[in-house]
Structure 1
Amino acid sequence: MSSAPHIRLSSPWLPFESRRRARDEKREAVLRAAVQLFLEQGYHRVTLNEVADRLNITKPALYNYFRGKDEILFECWSMGAELVDSVITEVNAGGGSGLVKLRKLVHAYAALMATDFGASLVRFDLRDLTEQNANVARAAKRRIDATFRQYIAEGIADGSIRPCDPKLAAFAIAGGLNWIGHWYRSDGELSPTAIADEFTVRLTEGLAIEDRQQTTRKTPGVPQRRNPVRKVTGKKRTGGTG
């Protein structure tokens, strides 16, 4: 008697890698919805029910990915920190003078501040995190600050940046960049790239050595200003700033 043909049944389960990828995508969707709500309404005003409603899922479904709202907050912050880390890694790999690296970092960081996860780095209160996670966040902030100082110090050493106090210069630059996360609006007149272009010039031109400024301003990977300020001639304008 001949044996019955073997029928290969398709598994109802996705392959491991596909399952992990699907889970990662859903997890990131939760973070994207949550970070938008946290920035719009403030962390304490947002409930997990609202996060679930925005995703059209149930609140219990959120617990498949996160243990609570504070963990979601930290993961949103971590997403922003990871983006900064990747920028720094790329800048370091590209090499160049201290000024070149500083300008690349300023440009990328400015554009990042105009994103939800970037803004979370400066809009979220670390006091809302657990002590352990707050310590992780503070350590990351110190690493970012140290990188700004390092590039400035390298520029002083290689002659591309004027002698200055790297600590104070880094504070001034980071302060200007971080504020973008507070005032940027996606429906505003300027795009993230336009903001990054302008801030790169404004925050670094005073540091550049004058006799090298024309060449170092043309930093690889950093778009140049297309609309230089022109002198106004003729009748003097009056009125307000609007």
Structure 2
Amino acid sequence: MSESPWKSSTDRRNEREEKRIAVLRTAAQAFNEVGYYNTSLDDIARRLNVTKPTIYYYIKNKEEILFECVRIGLERLDSASNDVIGHGGSAYEELVAVMTAYVGVVTMDFGMCVIRVGEEPLTEESRRTLRALKRRIDLKFRSLIERGVAEGSITACDPKIAAFTLSGALSWIARWYQPDGALDADAVAQQSIALLLNGLRPR
């Protein structure tokens, strides 16, 4: 029997999803570089060498693109923290691992979009969905800090304030980090985390 020239439904779905992610990633790059309001669907289409109607095959409108970009970024932050939590060691060691993973995500396209653009241009309903994801990530920071204080690997502190301070400082990296700069993401993560956890005072 000859092989069919038509792809299976599974292959077609996978191909469509790959192209959809390519649209979203290209949009995230544009949003990060020139801003959400300065990016049009025509701009995204030109970057992909396709027509604007092609974009509509994969996404409904620009707001949906931003929602998906931020959602993917937040889910990757959540997933990255899940990957390193619960593998043994002290809460302090796990916190360092989570912070390192956090920097790894916010210095990439979708994670950077979470910080540089965020959910403000979206509807209230979309913002609520994304804020629920943010709370989930924040609670992981707080939980690790609380556990560290209890076991003595982290100094006594207010876990809420500590979590906000750490995640806020790490998030800001996305605003100034340049992939082609002198330091790669790993070096930026190591130096930033050391500074946040050890301070500037000589020991």
TM-score, structure 2 as length reference:
0.93
Q: Deviations over 1:172-192 (max 9, x none)?
A: 111210110111111211100
Q: Which is richer in helix?
A: 2
Identity percentage over the alignment? Answer: 44
Matched residue, 2:133: 140
Matched residue, 1:44: 37
Q: Secondary structure at the match of 2:37?
A: helix
Matched residue, 1:77: 70
Structure 2: distance between partners of 1:116 and 1:147:
23
Q: Which runs of 5+ in 1 are unaligned?
A: 1-7, 207-228, 230-242
Q: Secondary structure at the match of 2:6?
A: coil
Q: Does 1:185 pair with 2:157?
A: no
Matched residue, 1:214: none
Q: Does 1:25 pair with 2:18?
A: yes
TM-score, structure 1 as length reference:
0.78
- Select 1:62's aligned residue among 37, 48, 55: 55
Q: Deviations over 1:201-232 (max 9, x none)?
A: 122236xxxxxxxxxxxxxxxxxxxxxx9xxx
Matched residue, 2:142: 149
Structure 2: distance between partners of 1:109 and 1:24:
25
Q: Which runs of 5+ in 2 are unaligned?
A: none
What amino acid sits opposite 1:175 in the alignment?
G
Deviation at 1:19? Answer: 1.2
Q: Answer with 1 or 2: which has the greater Rg.
A: 1
Structure 2: distance between partners of 1:95 and 1:65:
42
Alignment of 1:199-238 (within 5 A): 199-205=192-198
Alignment of 1:105-144 (within 5 A): 105-144=98-137
Q: Deviations over 1:64-89 (max 9, x none)?
A: 11000100111111121121111121
Q: Does 1:176 pair with 2:177?
A: no
